[in-house]
Structure 1
Amino acid sequence: MDRFLEMQSFNAVVEAGSFVGAADMLGLSKAAVSRHVVELENRLGIRLLHRTTRRLSLTPEGRVFHARSKDLLAELDDAEAEVTSRRETVSGVLRINAPFTFGILHLAPLWGLFRAQHPHVTLEVTLADRLVDLVEEGYDLAIRIAALENSSLVSRRLASTRMTLCASPRYLQQHGTPRHPADLAAHQVVAYSHFATRDEWHFKGPDGPVSVRTRPWMHTNNGETCRAAALAHQGVILQPGFLVGQDLAAGTLVELMPEYRSTELGIYAVYPTRKNLSAKVRLLIDFLAAHFAARGGAPDAAQGS
């Protein structure tokens, strides 16, 4: 028996919740799907599914096998689609969403390069810091910078960036330099509105995790506004390295308490589904991944590039 067909039938049953639904998905008879799953269980010598007249459920071994075999099937789909896309001339509209500042600093210079490689693709790029609904709003791909939680979306990690605590030298001369996160409660702070923890900032220090509730004098939903306020000596900010890396290198901003590390965020390409992923989306993801890999996976070092 074809091991691929066994795995495909088993995964279809799990996803559809029934043998009838799996048969419809695969274009096979219910009897054929059932036979494939039974032969898979016999070959492995393990029951993967609990079957009753009312419902199906995975055994513990079935959950493990489902997770691993689902990934294997997805990798096979990816390999086939990648090979196919290399011989296709891709065309059409590609709708992309990205965070505002990251989109300007690190993505805007890339669109022309991608266009030069794929001249028949038309790009529609929208910049917004809010979390868009890819399916409802019709986006093919979004760039998200986050500690990405589990979701129904599919993602590929492109790079990472570290949240960096910093302020200008003049601000520190006037207000003193904080030595411990607790000191931030007494400092002027400019805060980013979309932080998941709002005004409570978390760090990992020499003695373990530590957090402090800051008292911002200003909130803003734009990281560039935070940066501008810090450069104007208006307070302490916590912003990603891709935004403040050049300022730190120039000395116009100073990193504070480097022994207390804040969150490292992943930079992801996010898309609604792996199944039937279009060639133009796949090519863009590969293009972006190659670009950031060439910079060591950290756009912080690519500031202004």
Structure 2
Amino acid sequence: MVRTLLARGLLLGLLAGLVAGAFAFAFGEPRVDDAIALEEAAARAAAPEQAAGRPAHDHAGQPAHDHTGQAGQAGHDHGEEAAIGRPVQKAGLFLATGLYGLAVGGVFALVFAGLRGRVGPRSDGRLALAAAGTAFAAVILVPFVKYPANPPAVGDPETINGRTLLYVVMILVGLAATAIAVGTARRVTTGDAWARWTAAVAAFLVPVAAAWWLLPAVNEVPDGFPATLLWQFRLASLGTQLVFWAAFGVLFGWVSDRAARRAAAPARVAVPG
């Protein structure tokens, strides 16, 4: 059964990754192009100052950026000496989201196999949706609120290791908060579902809010960078993750419910004529 779930997770994760890649291509890549254009314009404006011996303001610091909302990936070189052109980068976006879907789908399937029949809704479809929504909240939304994704030309390359560590810490906080919430809900013995949900939500939010307050803020947006472009990029980044997890949760839940119904259906017995 675990092997079947793993194959299902890999296949559906790949499909959901390609769907998310299409969303990122349509809504995220134009924002990246706009940010690169600003970066290149700043570099051209700085060139005469450097030639005249005056210090130029450096806009070349690039943080890692992607459309899955993850921090700490390898940065891009968008200048004239870029080894990989933008058309190739855009095509590679689908490869990246597809591989991301494969990895996440495989891990999700193994976790789903461990949860099945032990916690959450009894229906496989509902459990898949609940698990996907919880994963999105814990692994994506919790760190994104504190450390949102940034486009090119935003961020200091010298701080990328520190920013990556902080992002990973927030992911761990989200996972720990989820475990605490599940444990709290299971300890509420009253039959009132509202009491159980209230306790679980409170148990989730307390460590998350504490981490948001205690961890240092990171604000490396250069002066003059368009706020509209910044938030459009961040919304596209978060939207890509939302599309992935929604598509994956629905697909995994639908296929799992169909498989469960087929397994529960009585076998047909042939009657001799």
Tell me if TM exceeds 0.5: no
Where on the TM-score scale, by shorter chain, does this alignment land: which range?
under 0.3
Whose strand proportion is higher, 1 or 2? 1
Which structure is higher in helix share?
Answer: 2
Larger Rg: 1
With structure 2 as the length reference, what TM-score do the two structures score?
Answer: 0.21
Task: Kindly indicate whether structure 1 or structure 2 has the higher relative contact order, using CA contacts under 8 Å at least 6 residues apart.
Answer: 2
What TM-score comes out, normalization by structure 1 length? 0.19
